[in-house]
Every structure is written in C-alpha cells, then in structure tokens.
Amino acid sequence: MNQISVKTKQRNARLTMAIAVAMAAAFGAATAHAADGGWTETKTKGFLPLVQQQAATAASTDVASAAASAVDLAPGETIDVLLGLNLRNETQLDTFLRDLHTPGSPQYHRFVTTEQFASQYAPTQQQVDAVVAHLRKAGFVNIVVAPNRLLVSASGTAATVKAAFRTGLKGFSKNGRHVYANTDAAQVPNALGSIVGSVLGLQNVELMHTGASQPEGDTSNLTIPSGAAAVPHNPTEFSSIYDAGTTPTASQTTVGIISEGNLTQTVSDLNTFAANNGLGTISSSVVKTGSSGSSYTDTSGTVEWNMDSQAIVGAAGGSVQKVVFYDAPAMTLSAITAAYNRVVTDNVAKVINVSLGVCESSAHSQGSQATDDTIFKQAVAQGQTFSVSAGDHGAYECAGGSPSRSTYTVSEPATSPYVIAVGGTTVFTQASNTGTYNSEIVWNDPSWQPGTVWSTGGGFSAYESAPSWQSSSLTGSTKRGLPDVGFDADLRTGAILVVSGQTSDTLWGSGYLNNEGGTSLAAPIFTGIWARLESANGNNLGFPASSIYQYFPSNASVVNDVTSGNNGSGGYGYNAKAGWDATTGFGSIDISNLNAFIQKTPDFAQ
C-alpha cells in the first residue's frame, strides 16, 4: 500500500471517528432534550454578536478587535442575574389600563394597590417556585423574589449561567473596562418558557447613561429673539418661567428619583440649595435597591442627581412632600430595572424621574425593554407617572453622537408607551425679566464638542407599537413616537446648581457656573411640574398620556408650542412644527393654565 493510500485511510478514519463523536453528542443532546422537555429562547438574545456587529462598523477598531477576540470567562467568575417574569393575564391588564382612563367604564379611575396587582397580574407563587427551583438546581444562590413577583435575582457564576440558560459568556476590554457578554440567546426549560421573559445581567458592555453637562455655554451662535435673553437659571426660576402663577406647590406629593451610587453629597447639596433659596427643609430619603452586599461607592453621577433633585424642587415651587432617591448600586441595565421595580412595589412616589437612557436596540436585545414595560404597566395601574429624558444625541441615540446622518435611533426607556418622554428646548426669557417666559426652540447645540450631535432625543421606536392614545394620523407612524412634551435642556440656558456646597468656582474654575442641561434637566422640570399639579388636585391624577394627546391639540393655552428647530445634523433629523412633533412633542406646559383646565375637565388624567 503506498503512502498516499495510508494517509487517506487515516484521514477517513479520523473523519469517521469525528462523525461518530458528533452523532453521539447529538444523540446525547437529543436524549437530554427529550428527558428535560426541551428548551425555549427568552427575549434575551446573544449580546456578543450584536457588539461585534456594531464594533465592526464603528470608528473604534480597538473595540472591534477586542470583541472579535473575546475569550470565555473563567467558570467560577461571579455573575449576578435578574430574571424578568412575564405578566399573567396580560390581555386583561391591557384592557384594564385602557378602561382605567375611559369615562363610563366600571374600571374608570380605579387604581389598584400593589397587592391587587400581584394577585391579578403577577406570576403565581407556584410559577415563581418553579423558576426558583431551576435556579437552585443550576447552582445559583442568594435567590430573591421581588414582592410583586415580576423579578427574581440570584448570584452565580459563568458555569451556573451556562447550566441554567445554555449560553456562554465571553470577556474583552472596552474603553478600559473589562466587560463580558453572552454568546447566545438565553434559554430556559420549556416548562418555564411562558413564565420567564428575560434574563438580565448577562452583559455589562452597555450601561445606562446620564445626559450632557458643561461650563456655562457660549450663546454667540444662538439667534436670540428681540427683547429676549438666553441665560442660565436658578432652578427656582422654572416655576415662574413656565407660569406657575398661584398654583400650589407640590407640598402634598412625594417624588422619586432613579439614581446610582453614593448620594451623600447629593443630599447635602439639596439641603444647601434649599437653605440658599429660603425653601425650608426638604425631606428626603435614600432607598438602596440592589441585592444584599451591593456596594454604593460611585460618585461619578453626583452632578446628575443634584440636577434631578434641585430642578424638581425648583419646578415644584420650592416644596415637595418628600424626595425619595431609589439608589441602584451600578449603571447596568439590570440594576436600573431593579430600581424601577422597587419604586412600583413601594408605591409611595406619585411621580418618578428617570434622567437616564440607553440605545433602544441594546435594551431590546438584552430583554430589559420588555421587562421595563411590565414594571411601567404596574405603575400606570397604580396611578404613578414616570418622567423619562428622551436622550441628548438628537435623532441618533445609538450612534454615540457621531452618526450616519440618515439613520435614526431613539433612547430606552423613553420609548415605553407607559412613561412620559420628555424632550429638550432652548428657553428664551424676557431680557427685562429673566424669570419670565419669552419663547422656545428645539435644543440643538452644534458648538459644543464639534463632530458630536448634542440635541434633544426624539423619533420613533423600532419595536414599540404606538399606544392607542397616539394615533398615526398625528405622528405619521404606527410606532411609538417620542417625546410627549419638552422643556429647557440647553446647556446655555440650563440650571445653575449647588455642587459640593457651592454654586460657582468649584467644578470648572474661576468665572464659571455649575451650569447643567440636557434632557436630564428637562425630565426633572416636568417631574416637578406634574408633582405640583398632583398636589393641586389632591394627588388624584393618574398617568396623563391619553389626556395629553386628547386635549393638548385643541387647547393651545395649556402649552407653549415649539415650532422652530431640528434635532439632526446637516439637514437630517426631525423638524419642529405646529402641534406634536418628534423633537419636543407638544412643547412645554403653562402650569397655571393647565391647572385651571384640569380643574374644569373632570376626566383629565383620571
């Protein structure tokens, strides 16, 4: 036998052996599937392929190279997961949410308690027990079920993740951080397929982010109307700018703020802000929303949480019943989702501020978008309102501000139909009285960090259908359009904050103010205004979206319509126009006029 024939036989033998091994593995897998009833994909898709795809087309070749060469995590590397469970009787819940705001319906204005919601719409205890048993069998520990049974948290390792959800985890470096992402869609046994919606925590590549900030801005590129001024504002001025008149303060209403990290300085600065402005004591508390043993040391968001709290109190008229900081231990999507859920299970804050966002496709792929919606549905059912910033990169949220000009994307959770999405404006005040409103345009600042779009978020969701109250004849789309309203966000006309106990010379050096903006300012302005309207109406108002879309188009006196500006670049993006548009929604609110309208319109936000 010649040498070639010997090599051929050896190769064929190896091939035969490989096929046999593969067939045996396939047979073993098929037998295992038959034994365990098979597996079902959750809404959590493989995140690493998404990262690799995005990185391959991005300017950063370092990220693309790192993602392409990602390596398996060590089996013992610690991983915390958060399972988002599906609602029970969701069709009935959707009907209830519609009837809740339909005059004449038996369910009209009959908000539910947290206990009633869990009883009627949460997974059953038996279903949750089955999920917990699966986690324990895979090796997870520290398993905690949320009071409303919508979330289950657990601690494990890369090995337990693979056993429980049939996906590997790979790590790589991004912007100096060691990150990881799941290689495949998360799966659960078929018996749990109708119960488990998402498995969060399988990636830490994409984080929630806050908005824009900078020293006092240069207004030379603004066309300022005759007789108007473009100046930064003490947050207390937002009451007069948006015409509160004699509308009572929010002294009867508790507000919540989704926040993260160490809030010691934020609480101290809120007290200093109140003292500086003669507002009296602002009652506040911090509710830590992470699992036992979580660390709350991050201070990078201090200025953001300062802006949220000080802008809310200022727009609320200088008084709220209480400010509750719902404090997450990290900016991961799973940690922030857990904070949302704590708000609804506590059910003490009537209005909740979220000055955070993330690329919608990332939230969708991880499954947090679907989980967030279940939580926000509970908020609506209970009469709570989430106010969410629309994003600060114009029509290009997912591009990081350096966009393909004709490719539009939006921010989550602003895309949820169960929140009020708040866009951004540049507010001009009277030159003779900078606490009095003059006009507004769409916030779009091309002078700050050229090459990056800093403008109000807005556009249309790629995944969320338009809610019943947002007609396609109004928006021109069958998808959820955002924002719903808009308020001051321009860093050139933004908020002068107390930071580290001072209002100047601290952050940026002598001669500069701690001037902050972005839709991270616009959202708390609306939060404070809506809390004020709640107090003025006995905390009897519910989620206002359907009433906003029903009444605002035909009652011009309650809004300041923004009809000038654009949130894109180079002629792209969305343009402001009369009525609703995808830059500032219906515009800003005239507080006094809207309060008067509510009091003569019994079904507004009822």
**What's the pLDDT tens digit per position in 248-278?**
999 999 999 999 999 999 999 999 999 999 9
* Bridge partners, residue 503, by sequence: none
DSSP-based three-state secondary structure for 216 = coil
Q: Are strands 177-182 and 169-174 parallel, antiparallel or unpaired?
A: antiparallel
Separation CA 27–CA 35 (nearest Å)? 12
**DSSP category for residue 570:** T
At position 470, the amino acid (one-letter code) is Q
Q: Is-contact 306 500, C-beta < 8 A? A: no
Query: What residues form the annotated binding site for Ca(2+)?
Result: 561-562, 579, 581
Separation CA 364–CA 360 (nearest Å)? 6
Separation CA 489–CA 427 (nearest Å)? 8
Task: Compute the CA torsion angle 195, 50, 290, 191 (nearest 10 deg).
Answer: 20
Q: Is 308 considered catalytic here?
A: yes
Q: Is 510 considered catalytic here?
A: no
Q: In 3D, which of 411, 406, 373 has the Cα closest to residue 391?
A: 411
Separation CA 391–CA 40 (nearest Å)? 34
Q: In 3D, which of 219, 114, 167, 284 has the Cα closest to residue 445?
A: 219
Select which of 155, 213, 520, 547 is catalytic: 520
At position 253, the amino acid (one-letter code) is T
Select which of 206, 237, 308, 488 is catalytic: 308
Cite the beta strand spans of 319-432 per DSSP E: 320-328, 351-354, 358-359, 385-389, 411-412, 420-430
Task: Compute the CA torsion angle 342, 345, 347, 351 (nearest 10 deg).
Answer: 40
The per-residue DSSP string of 103-127 comes to TTSTTTT-PPPHHHHHHHHSPPHHH
Separation CA 550–CA 535 (nearest Å)? 22
Separation CA 72–CA 87 (nearest Å)? 34
Select which of 304, 392, 490, 534 is catalytic: 304
Q: How far is CA 250 from the centre of its chain?
A: 24
Separation CA 37–CA 31 (nearest Å)? 10
Boundaries of every domain in the chain: 39-87+122-200, 228-548+562-591
pTM for this prediction: 0.92
Cβ contacts of 4 within 8 Å, gap of 6 or more = none
Per-residue pLDDT of 390-410, as tens digits, reads 999 999 999 865 667 889 999
Per-residue pLDDT, 7: 37
Burial zone of 440 (CB within 10 Å; 0-12 exposed, 13-18 middle, 19+ buried): buried
The class (CATH top level) of 228-548+562-591 is alpha beta
Counting as low any pLDDT under 70, the low residues of the chain are: 1-37, 55-64, 212-218, 400-403, 504-514
Per-residue pLDDT, 57: 61
Query: What residues form the annotated binding site?
Result: 561-562, 579, 581
Per-residue pLDDT, 505: 43
Cβ contacts of 8 within 8 Å, gap of 6 or more = none
Token pair, residue 399, equals 């591009």
